[in-house]
Structure 1
Amino acid sequence: MKTKIILLTFLLTAGLVHSQAKKWTLKACIDYAIKHNINVKQTELDSEDAEIDKSSAVGNFLPTARIGVSHSWNIGLNQNITTGILENQTTQFTSAQGVINVDIFKGLQNVNTLRRANLNILANRYKLADMKDDISLSVANGYLQVLFSRENLEVAKAQYAVTEQDLKKTRELVESGVVPKGDLLEIEATAATQEQQIVNAENELRLSRIALAQLLLIDDYENFDVADEDFVLP
């Protein structure tokens, strides 16, 4: 019995956590969109390649060095320089050499290569900044559209709530013979129109949430929602 109670408690807790879906802030939406955008990733890779090209271009200005070491043995009769007598001797010879080359004929070519690498880095930086600005603007517009749609739905529901009260009072007055039935029919028509407006507002809110989720490359449309934020203009 105790095990069943623990299991039931766990299931209820899990259901509560799942129902409390994450609500995205504007900053979270923008950061996520930029991080997962394919074009941004490609441009960042291009920037890394440009940095590598620059390193290679700088390396072209450096001289090339070559160092060699040789070692030889000489075994046989050799004259002793002290006594002048021929003796069996083993003689070792070690020599080292180093060569440094500087290609002066490619100087201008190397300068142009480095200049082109720097321009590529700068171009990728501007491209990446513009791309992030465009994504931020698109996400902000989509985010605000969700907030506007949600507000329109709340207004439509509030108007319908007022009409429902009027409808109830008017129905009582008609039954009492105080007002003609035509007044009731008019309010009923208004209520029906407002009910349709609520349905339209709900659809508009759902579509705006889906559009923003698609912009963020999020597949779980149904559980995606944004937080209510107050934006203060500077």
Structure 2
Amino acid sequence: MSANAQDNTKWDLKKCVEYAINNNISVRQADIQARVSSILLKESRLQQIPSLNFSGNHGFQFGRSLDYTTNTYSDANAIYQQFGLNTQVNLFNWNSQRNNIKANDLSSQADEVAVDKAKNDIALNVARQYLLVLLDIEQANVTDIQLKQSQAQLSNTQKQVDAGALPELNAAELAAQVARDSANLMSAQTTIEVDKLTLKGLINLPADAPFDLEVPPVDQIPVDNILEISPAEVFNMAMHTQPQIKVNSLRLDAAQKSYKAAVGRQYPTISAFGQLGSRFFSPYKLTGTELLGIFPNENIYVMNGTEKLPVYSPVTGYTTTKRNFWGLWDGYGAQLKNNFGQSFGIGLSVPIFNGWSARANIERAKMDIRNKELIVEQDTLKLKQDIYTAFNQARGSFQTFNARQKEVATAERSFGLATKRYEIGVMQTIEWLTNQANLYNARINLLIAQFDYVFKMKVLEFYKGQGIKL
């Protein structure tokens, strides 16, 4: 959507809403939360399949340590390696895991619907601000018309003053009115730009981006007939179309599943496990014996008559061989093969006492259900109140709009008569200016009432699930 920021085509309400939905920070945050919930759901589902973990370590031993090759202790320094592969899967946990998955699934659905709610909220806010800018533009147009009227009347009066037909005071009073109207026009134009900036902020459009609004005639904006609308029917429609109602329902269902999962966690869990492992051990020095020679033993002899014959015995000594780096790995494969072991079995975990955490989780889950029920009740009451308030406001705006139309018609007739009297010199300038001001105020009030009525009707259409459109 970044290309739209440089697009010189005019922005209508649809384009503003679409840009806001794709770029507004609140909508994007809601979308991120929905993605996080989706990840949590995926994680909980995959926890049903067996876990599989590999472990391995390499280390050095100094001082007295266990020689894994002989299963005896020695003072030899050595290197060692250990490897393991283990798996585990829950077989039965009183549906705690399954209910937890259902709870995460419902929460994920709720967060997805919450994205729609965020889109609806921003669409309604954009429509309100869009109509406010349109009202600003129409008010500026009325102010510009008044300025031109004052300028035209000043020009005519100045000619009569120059001809001596009217006093100079008349021209001075009209000149002051022209100045006031000019100031009012500049103020109205400033209001347009300020409200445009607010609208840009809502849709997250850069403040310096081109932003030319489409200005549809307000009397051509289609609205339903307020006399044909029943607030009770609008409420019934809203209960089936408004995302917040669905979000609350899904989160209540999720809380109920979480409660069931918490209840299941207080009972025994049965799981299956399996392990594979092997190890390698190699000392830096090897100790052994070697033959030093065969020597006569002075203490042992054999008598041959009177002759002593010596007995020869082998003489051995202890040796210590320091191995180089490559020698440390001699017999590596054989050790891993000989030390390879496996185990598998069934495990039972029985929670007996865990600091009341299991029971506390159940109580918290109960309170969460009650809280979600109160949210459902609160938002339902608020929705009904908002709809009836919007209906009464729309009906009041409709009545005000009709009254303002009559006021404008009367003010236009009065101003027309006043202008004729002023031009023939039977009315003071101040009286003519008063009639002009009355007409200006009547037109401004009519615009305010008309735009207010249009917006109130659009709010009712929004609650009926028809979206926001002009």
1:29 matched to 2:19? no
CA 1:36/1:222 → structure 2, altered by over 3 Å: closer, same or farther?
A: closer
**For residue 45 of structure 1, what is the aligned residue in structure 2?**
32
Decide which of 123, 144, 152 is 2:110's aligned counterpart: 123
Identical counterparts, % of pairs: 25
1:106 matched to 2:96? no
**For residue 222 of structure 2, what is the aligned residue in structure 1?**
232
Shift of 1:127: 2.2
Matched AA of 1:206: E
**For residue 394 of structure 2, what is the aligned residue in structure 1?**
none
CA 1:222/1:124 → structure 2, altered by over 3 Å: closer, same or farther?
A: closer
Aligned pairs for 1:86-165 (under 5 A) are: 103-165=90-152
Higher strand share: 2
Contact 2:37 2:107 in 1 (8 A): yes
- Compare relative contact order (CA 8 Å, sep 6+) and give the higher one, 1 or 2: 1
The alignment covers a number of residue pairs equal to: 180
**For residue 209 of structure 1, what is the aligned residue in structure 2?**
196
CA 1:121/1:222 → structure 2, altered by over 3 Å: closer, same or farther?
A: closer
**For residue 267 of structure 2, what is the aligned residue in structure 1?**
none
Shift of 1:220: 4.2
Secondary structure class of the residue paired with 1:142: helix
* CA distance in structure 2 between the partners assigned to 1:39 and 1:220 by the alignment: 18
Secondary structure class of the residue paired with 2:222: coil
* CA distance in structure 2 between the partners assigned to 1:105 and 1:195 by the alignment: 82
* CA distance in structure 2 between the partners assigned to 1:27 and 1:227 by the alignment: 10
**For residue 185 of structure 2, what is the aligned residue in structure 1?**
198
Contact 2:44 2:100 in 1 (8 A): yes
Matched AA of 2:20: A
**For residue 166 of structure 2, what is the aligned residue in structure 1?**
179
Shift of 1:199: 0.9
Secondary structure class of the residue paired with 1:155: helix
Contact 2:201 2:207 in 1 (8 A): no
Q: Residue by residue, what CA displacement relative to the aligned partner does 1:57-93 show, whole Å, maximum 9, x if unpaired? A: 445556x6xxxxxxxxxxxxxxxxxxxxxxxxxxxxx
* CA distance in structure 1 between the partners assigned to 2:115 and 2:201 by the alignment: 21
Matched AA of 1:232: P
Shift of 1:42: 2.9
* CA distance in structure 1 between the partners assigned to 2:199 and 2:15 by the alignment: 12
* CA distance in structure 1 between the partners assigned to 2:142 and 2:104 by the alignment: 57
Shift of 1:45: 2.8
Contact 2:13 2:127 in 1 (8 A): yes
* CA distance in structure 1 between the partners assigned to 2:185 and 2:29 by the alignment: 43
Contact 1:210 1:221 in 2 (8 A): no
* CA distance in structure 1 between the partners assigned to 2:113 and 2:9 by the alignment: 34
Return the TM-score normalized by structure 1: 0.68
Shift of 1:150: 1.0
* CA distance in structure 2 between the partners assigned to 1:45 and 1:170 by the alignment: 67
Secondary structure class of the residue paired with 1:226: coil
Contact 1:145 1:208 in 2 (8 A): yes
* CA distance in structure 2 between the partners assigned to 1:32 and 1:134 by the alignment: 14
Matched AA of 2:34: S
CA 1:42/1:125 → structure 2, altered by over 3 Å: closer, same or farther?
A: same
Shift of 1:157: 0.9
Return the TM-score normalized by structure 2: 0.35
* CA distance in structure 2 between the partners assigned to 1:222 and 1:183 by the alignment: 46
Contact 2:25 2:204 in 1 (8 A): no
Matched AA of 2:129: G
* CA distance in structure 1 between the partners assigned to 2:119 and 2:128 by the alignment: 14
Contact 1:50 1:121 in 2 (8 A): yes
Quick check: 190-199 or 51-60, which moved more? 51-60
Contact 1:33 1:217 in 2 (8 A): yes
Secondary structure class of the residue paired with 1:104: strand
Quick check: 41-50 or 158-167, which moved more? 41-50
**For residue 6 of structure 1, what is the aligned residue in structure 2?**
none
Shift of 1:172: 0.8
